[in-house]
């Protein structure tokens, strides 16, 4: 196959959902030579999620992506990425819970599969671009938030390398979700009303705790048992079956016969102590960021909007960089700053970069 189209050849990551399907359809309309590809990353027979119902990249999702590709008249490939997904996403996810962190596997999936594995496949197929259904925009070499603030996914893109931005296309970044579904309807795409993928795609209804216990040795789990202490007094209040049962800010399921509402304020992986206390102890003005990755230059004088979880709008903060050390100082205290989650920095609508919240 030779690239004869003036606009170039595009590999589109098609998850079987409406967003990536519409992304592919729009590129066809715009005159690109489009190739569709779906990554098969997880065996859904191993969890209790109904395929195609809040999942992505399951066998049903692959079939949906293939049907859209057929409707659009474009070539379609299925890429088996299960081994890499386990190495780069599942295994770090499990380790994080045993290290007293709350992981964010969607960033690892973007980093090591969508924008690494697929970039290599893009080159192999002699494509000029890689496109995805992310709600984000690229303008003048900068990543900007999408038009749809509610669906914006730039929070998960802070690890992207500056060098690949010129080869990336986000065709739906200028649309709202409602507009995307309307386009799918108008084009007669079978996925127009398909449910969005939700939560962590490989966990299922069983929840994080059970998933960890099914995939980690019993000896390792036993070594993570410990006590629950009252913050700040240090009073022992109970024992617990493992630190993977807890996350910062948690108030339910603490396993204590205690009438006062208490919250997890800290988890110590060294001695497996879970600290609980009043809600006021959840608020802090500073955090340390590790493995910081910048897409543009930041300075200590400017005030940025910083998100410590996907569901927040972000809060004003200053950034201090000393070598590899990055400190984020918020102008107002933040609730439940959680190790293992992403700390993502914005200037107006531009994604500046981010890193991981350290212990």
Active-site hit among 56, 109, 127, 343: 109
Provide DSSP, 180-217: HHHHHHHTT-TTTTPPPP-S-TTT-TT-HHHHHHHHS-
Report the pLDDT value the prediction gives residue 3, as an integer from 0 to 100: 47
State the pTM of this model: 0.92
Report the pLDDT value the prediction gives residue 124, as an integer from 0 to 100: 96
- Per the annotation, the verdict on 47 as an active-site residue is no
What the block records as the tokens of 318 is 């200053």
Was domain 9-186 assigned CATH 3.40.50.460?
Answer: no
Was domain 223-277 assigned CATH 1.10.1070?
Answer: no
Active-site hit among 81, 106, 127, 201: 201
CATH 2.30.30 residue ranges for the chain: 223-277
pLDDT, averaged in runs of 10, over the chain (359 residues): 69 96 98 95 61 58 94 96 94 96 94 94 97 97 96 97 96 97 97 83 82 94 96 96 96 86 96 97 97 96 97 95 92 97 97 95
CATH 3.40.50.620 residue ranges for the chain: 9-186
The model's pLDDT over 285-299, given as tens digits with 9 standing for 90+, comes to: 999 999 999 999 999
Provide DSSP, 102-151: ---HHHHHIIIIIIIIHHHHHHHTT-SEEE---SEEEETTEEEE-S-TTT
Report the pLDDT value the prediction gives residue 46, as an integer from 0 to 100: 57
The CATH number that domain 282-357 falls under is: 2.40.30.10
What the block records as the tokens of 72 is 């659009």
Task: Identify the three-state secondary structure at position 260.
Answer: coil
CATH 2.40.30.10 residue ranges for the chain: 282-357
Report the pLDDT value the prediction gives residue 192, as an integer from 0 to 100: 95
Rounded to whole angstroms, the Cα distance separating 205 from 101 reads 21
Rounded to whole angstroms, the Cα distance separating 329 from 325 reads 13
């Amino acid at each position: 196959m030779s690239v004869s189209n003036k606009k170039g050849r595009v590999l589109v990551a098609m998850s079987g959902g409406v967003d990536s399907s519409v992304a592919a359809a729009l590129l066809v309309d715009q005159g690109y030579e489009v190739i569709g590809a779906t990554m098969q990353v997880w065996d859904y027979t191993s969890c209790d999620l109904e395929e195609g119902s809040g999942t992505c990249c399951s066998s049903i999702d692959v079939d949906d992506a293939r049907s859209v590709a057929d409707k659009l008249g474009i070539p379609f490939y299925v890429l088996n990425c299960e081994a890499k997904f386990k190495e780069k996403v599942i295994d770090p996810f499990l380790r994080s819970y045993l290290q007293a962190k709350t992981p964010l596997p969607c960033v690892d999936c973007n980093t090591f599969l969508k924008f690494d594995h697929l970039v290599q496949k893009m080159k192999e197929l002699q494509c000029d671009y890689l496109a995805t259904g992310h709600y984000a925009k690229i303008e003048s070499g900068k990543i900007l938030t999408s038009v749809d603030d509610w669906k914006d996914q730039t929070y998960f893109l802070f690890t992207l390398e500056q060098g690949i931005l010129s080869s990336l296309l986000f065709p739906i970044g200028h649309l709202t979700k409602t507009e995307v579904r309307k386009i799918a309807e108008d084009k007669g795409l079978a996925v127009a009303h398909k449910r969005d993928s939700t939560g962590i795609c490989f966990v299922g209804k069983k929840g994080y705790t059970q998933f960890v216990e099914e995939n980690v040795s019993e000896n390792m789990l036993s070594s993570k048992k410990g006590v629950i202490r009252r913050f700040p007094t240090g009073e022992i209040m109970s024992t617990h079956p493992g630190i993977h049962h807890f996350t910062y800010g948690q108030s339910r399921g603490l396993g204590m016969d205690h009438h006062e509402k208490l919250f997890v304020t800290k988890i110590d992986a060294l001695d497996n102590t879970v600290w609980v206390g009043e809600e006021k102890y959840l608020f802090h003005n500073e955090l340390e960021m590790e493995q910081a990755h910048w897409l543009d230059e930041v300075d200590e004088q400017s005030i940025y909007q910083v998100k410590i979880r996907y569901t927040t709008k972000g809060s004003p903060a200053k950034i201090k960089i000393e070598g590899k050390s990055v400190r984020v100082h918020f102008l107002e205290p933040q609730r439940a700053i959680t190790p293992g989650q992403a700390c993502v920095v914005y200037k107006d609508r531009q994604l500046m970069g981010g890193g991981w919240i350290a212990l």
